[in-house]
Structure 1
Amino acid sequence: MTIGASDYDVAVIGAGPAGATAARVAADAGCRVLLLERAVLPRYKTCGGGLIGLSRAALPVGFDVPVRDSIDRFTFTLGGRLSRTWQTGSPVIDLVYRDELDAGLTALAVDAGAKLEEGVTVNGLERAPDGATMRLRTSAGEVSARAVVGADGTSGRSGTYVGVTLDQIDLGLETEFARPDPAAGDWAGRILIDWGPLPGSYGWVFPKGDALTVGVIAARGNGAATREYLAAFVDRLGLTGTPELRSSGHLTRCRAEDSPVFRDRVLVAGDAAGLLEPWTREGISFALRSGKLAGSAAVRVAAATGENALGFATAGYRAGVESVFGAEMRAGRAFHTAFSRRPAWFHAAIATAPPAWNVFRRFVTGETTLSRLASHRAVDLTLRALS
């Protein structure tokens, strides 16, 4: 297989939410866009698949979200104990399979004019001697573009090229179960969040129509203990022996605060840039929003004919990332630190105190953010005391 035309305005690596969004935005602006995906869509992606308010607001207008379940009930436990369920009255989270979501977003990019090439791996990036283009070495041949958006995940080539640095790496383990017998619990419209035994860990149960997604996440380096947590969690849920559809694991990576988000004519977005919320490790809203920023910035990078113009375009992207995500990630780190040290306090607050539950609900719906919460003096002092 070889790629046809070799010169593009914008090349996007990765057809996840960040890459598909960036490709659509750049194509809508009239750019010749090439979207490279190493797999063939639709392809499975390890992900809880929860669309919170910020994610839903960031989706394209009119997009037909492939919802598998909508959530209006939240159950919280602490190590499987002290269960409490709250009801919101109306759905506040939509649950999706990432293969279906990504395929739908990619179809919109193609409809906008982006050229999709599947089954293509990017093996290297380099700036052309004239400085005006980037060369991409791929499994289907070499291609050049005036701007590149790297959205190829946490271990992709683009993040390495840009020099993304990280300050938090976590291991997530996930198993998809066939929908169990009703005796195992009423899961339709309800998710469970279990604050776990390892520092900063938690588990989840997300219903998706004919299946349940069950997972846990904890700091990397505790692999054996994380696997033990998942096994114990599954057993407590009464799912041991329920047919497994698939099991998988992945690493989530949060960028260091001073990590670069571009180099030369390459911009990174989503997981490739280490953009996700450090406490909950929610990444879909970060991917969608950073993909939109990167797509717009890539249009300006592609149009830049000199180093000064290129500098303005890339600096604008960096400023946009800091403006949209900087405060959110700093607040997320503060919440993560406090939660890692006092999970029982968090459980007691959210599970038993209506005001704290209401704050959590407002965060999930997008009515507020962790950065806004952390800006309140009482919350800031509480986080400092817990940490």
Structure 2
Amino acid sequence: MSTTVGRRKAGEDAEVIVVGAGPAGSTAATYLARAGLDVLLLEKSTFPREKVCGDGLTPRGVKQLIDLGVDTREEAGWLHNRGLRVVGGGITMELDWPDLATFPPYGVVRPRQDFDEMLARTAQRAGARLLEQTTVTEAVVANGRVVGVAAKAGPDKTPVTYRAPLVLACDGVSARLALSVGLDKIDSRPMGVAVRRYYASPRSKDDYLESHLELWDRSDPENPVLLPGYGWLFGMGDGTVNAGLGILSTSSAFGSTDYRKLMRSWLDGTPEDWGFREENAIGKVGGAALPMGFNRTPHYRAGLLLVGDAGGMVNPFNGEGIGYAMESARLAAECVVQALARPEGPARERALDGYPVALKQALGSYYRLGNVFSRLIGNPTVMGVATKYGLPRKTLMKLVLKLLAGLYDPKDGDAYDRIITAATRVTPSL
């Protein structure tokens, strides 16, 4: 005989509402459902859906997939890569991902259209209830506490309200839920903008993710112009390449640049046999903002947890967001599971207050370093000096790769790991 007792109160639609079925939302919903909670996962679009992203995950992101129980073998449809190829200052250098106890020795590439649906279906299999075509517009607040969400459901946008004692805002850079309760972004912290497009290209199969630290407009061969930002080329393994670029808010060109034109100028300067020309383009140029370095806080307040891009979880060192969205989702889920095992009141709130503490412990000092780094490289002179004098030194670049990708063993690591760990320990947390 079953001894399961429903924990939902009258008038509640779930024990936890998760808004947004991207990597953050689907990961959180999976962990919560596996812990036996009644989870309602609300997604504004329908799967499969297109998302703007580089499609590549470093080993840090791969670890989150493995933790979630996802099969990341190549036989399961993942394209593996060995490391990062850095291009700049007339130098090309291939840096393998470090061999660590904490993270796997490979990165992966997979289209976001496929990736996001896979994670959402993982959440469903765990027991989460997914409602697509449900656009959440604002939080429902009672007695100063978030107790649900208001939404428009279905093709006819029928107004609906869903209630639960806790809501996870995984609604991305738009952060509608956070804004609806007055949680604005912190303008002093960095933002990025990324644009990308797919091209049919012979460079589709590549053992390395490729990063271009200098973007040149060579439309006038006599007078090449150095453009702000950095570019990437991620071979998708299917005959196409994801080509894109990013620019930081710390650059003086931020906000006044035509990013699509910027990318066109850069790609027109690449060798023609690479295929990055208009006639080989597949689909349109997509763009997205990248909220970095905890640029929206507090990450928990009165029944609402900010997870992933909604809480500014993008790494300010390298613009990676997927792995950190999943990492923050796992931490949020752990705190929510503990909280809902306690009675309402101070004991439950103490467990929920553990979420921002866990984020600070995991990423706070590292992100503060990253915010400083983003301000430095936003200066073209600093970036030029770093590229000219840093790139030729492979030993130094191995340290830089570990720092930029967050790939270091805090315990029992090598000398590079100890340097990074020491730097984060002496840096105050955000």
Report the TM-score range of the alignment, normalised by the length of the smaller protein.
0.7 to 0.9
- Larger RCO of the pair (alpha carbons < 8 Å, separation 6+): 1
1:353 aligns to 2:385 (yes or no): no
Q: Does the aligned pair in 2 maintain the 1:199–1:219 contact within 8 Å? A: no
Specify the code of the residue in structure 2 equivalent to 1:138.
A
Given candidates 113, 128, 131, the residue that maps to 2:142 is: 128
Alignment of 1:45-194 (within 5 A): 45-61=51-67, 62-65=69-72, 67-72=77-82, 74-78=84-88, 82-86=90-94, 88=96, 92-129=106-143, 134-140=147-153, 141-160=160-179, 161=181, 163-166=183-186, 167-178=189-200, 180=201, 182=202, 185=203, 187-194=205-212
Q: Residue by residue, what CA displacement relative to the aligned partner does 1:56-95 show, whole Å, maximum 9, x if unpaired?
A: 11224441246553223643233xx503132539963211
Given candidates 21, 25, 40, the residue that maps to 1:15 is: 21
2:213 corresponding residue in structure 1: 195
1:337 corresponding residue in structure 2: 375
Alpha-carbon distance in structure 1 between the residues aligned to 2:93 and 2:372: 26
Gaps of 5+ in 2: 1-10, 100-104, 154-159, 216-225, 411-415
Specify the code of the residue in structure 1 equivalent to 2:229.
S
1:232 corresponding residue in structure 2: 265
Q: Does the aligned pair in 2 maintain the 1:330–1:371 contact within 8 Å? A: no
Deviation at 1:187, TM superposition (A): 5.0
Specify the code of the residue in structure 2 equivalent to 1:347.
T
1:207 corresponding residue in structure 2: 235
**Shift in CA distance, 157/186, structure 1 to aligned 2, threshold 3 Å:** closer
**Shift in CA distance, 102/372, structure 1 to aligned 2, threshold 3 Å:** farther
What RMSD, in angstroms, separates the aligned Cα atoms of the two structures?
3.0
Deviation at 1:158, TM superposition (A): 2.1
1:267 corresponding residue in structure 2: 305
Sequence identity, in percent?
Answer: 24
**Shift in CA distance, 188/242, structure 1 to aligned 2, threshold 3 Å:** farther
Q: Does the aligned pair in 1 maintain the 2:17–2:167 contact within 8 Å? A: yes
Deviation at 1:360, TM superposition (A): 3.8
Specify the code of the residue in structure 2 equivalent to 1:29.
A
What is the DSSP-based 3-state SS (H/G/I as helix, E as strand, rest coil) of the residue aligned with 2:398?
A: helix
1:312 corresponding residue in structure 2: 350
What is the DSSP-based 3-state SS (H/G/I as helix, E as strand, rest coil) of the residue aligned with 1:30?
A: coil
Q: Does the aligned pair in 1 maintain the 2:137–2:150 contact within 8 Å? A: yes
2:5 corresponding residue in structure 1: none
What is the DSSP-based 3-state SS (H/G/I as helix, E as strand, rest coil) of the residue aligned with 1:291?
A: helix
**Shift in CA distance, 115/256, structure 1 to aligned 2, threshold 3 Å:** closer
Alpha-carbon distance in structure 1 between the residues aligned to 2:417 and 2:369: 5
Q: Residue by residue, what CA displacement relative to the aligned partner does 1:233-284 show, whole Å, maximum 9, x if unpaired?
A: 2112231234222210011112557821122111011001011111211111
What is the DSSP-based 3-state SS (H/G/I as helix, E as strand, rest coil) of the residue aligned with 1:125?
A: strand
Q: Residue by residue, what CA displacement relative to the aligned partner does 1:189-211 show, whole Å, maximum 9, x if unpaired?
A: 23321114679721111110221
2:281 corresponding residue in structure 1: 244
Specify the code of the residue in structure 2 equivalent to 1:165.
K
1:385 corresponding residue in structure 2: none
Specify the code of the residue in structure 2 equivalent to 1:42.
P
What is the DSSP-based 3-state SS (H/G/I as helix, E as strand, rest coil) of the residue aligned with 2:378?
A: helix
Deviation at 1:368, TM superposition (A): 4.9
Alpha-carbon distance in structure 2 between the residues aligned to 1:146 and 1:270: 20
Alpha-carbon distance in structure 2 between the residues aligned to 1:264 and 1:163: 12
Q: Does the aligned pair in 2 maintain the 1:17–1:288 contact within 8 Å? A: yes
Q: Does the aligned pair in 2 maintain the 1:205–1:215 contact within 8 Å? A: yes
Alpha-carbon distance in structure 2 between the residues aligned to 1:200 and 1:304: 51
Moved more, 102-111 or 14-23: 102-111
Alpha-carbon distance in structure 2 between the residues aligned to 1:260 and 1:310: 17
Q: Does the aligned pair in 2 maintain the 1:10–1:302 contact within 8 Å? A: no
Q: Does the aligned pair in 2 maintain the 1:204–1:215 contact within 8 Å? A: yes
Q: Does the aligned pair in 2 maintain the 1:41–1:103 contact within 8 Å? A: yes
1:383 corresponding residue in structure 2: none
TM, length-normalised to structure 2:
0.77
Alpha-carbon distance in structure 2 between the residues aligned to 1:264 and 1:355: 48
Equivalent pairs, count: 368
Deviation at 1:34, TM superposition (A): 0.4
**Shift in CA distance, 21/174, structure 1 to aligned 2, threshold 3 Å:** same
Specify the code of the residue in structure 1 equivalent to 2:376.
A
Alpha-carbon distance in structure 1 between the residues aligned to 2:85 and 2:388: 13
Q: Does the aligned pair in 1 maintain the 2:18–2:169 contact within 8 Å? A: yes
Given candidates 25, 37, 50, the residue that maps to 1:44 is: 50
Deviation at 1:320, TM superposition (A): 0.8
Given candidates 241, 247, 253, the residue that maps to 1:218 is: 247
Gaps of 5+ in 1: 381-387
Moved more, 257-266 or 31-40: 257-266
Q: Does the aligned pair in 2 maintain the 1:136–1:143 contact within 8 Å? A: yes
Deviation at 1:130, TM superposition (A): 9.5
Alpha-carbon distance in structure 1 between the residues aligned to 2:260 and 2:177: 30
**Shift in CA distance, 75/155, structure 1 to aligned 2, threshold 3 Å:** same
TM, length-normalised to structure 1:
0.85
Deviation at 1:303, TM superposition (A): 4.5
